[in-house]
Amino acid sequence: MTKIEETFKDFNKKQFLAVKDGRIGVPHALQIIAFHKNLFIRAARIILNLAEAENESWGNNAKGVFKIFISYAFRY
């Protein structure tokens, strides 16, 4: 988780929009990481940034994954 945070810590919206390689994999990896209660908020912050700068129309894109995060949040 720390490496993912370090990678994206200084990104602005334009830089998040420019993410192409691994674009689909990062949200799904964060979704798995979020199952660890102590990492949920940290993973959610990154997926929210990706969702705000979404550049794909697939249902399982960052916005779709963030919607799932919201449902997780109510379980904690």
Q: Count Cβ atoms below 10 Å from residue 29 Cβ, excluding itself.
A: 17
Question: What pTM value is reported for the model?
Answer: 0.79
Name the residue range of residue 53's domain: 2-73
pLDDT band at 75 (very low <50, low <70, confident <90, very high): low
CA-to-CA separations, 49 to 55, 59, 74, in angstroms, rounded: 12, 17, 20
Between 75 and 25, the more confident residue is: 25
| Cα-based angle 54, 68, 65 (whole degrees, multiple of 5) | 30
CA distance linking residue 63 with residue 14, whole number of Å: 16
Give pLDDT tens digits for 13-49: 999 988 887 777 888 898 889 888 899 899 989 989 9
Chain centroid offset of residue 25 CA? 10
Number of domains in the chain: 1
- Measuring CA to CA, which residue among 49, 73, 42 is closest to residue 63? 49
The pLDDT tens digits of the residues spanning 51-64 come to: 898 877 776 788 88
The whole-number pLDDT of residue 2 equals 93
Whether pLDDT at 67 is above 90: no
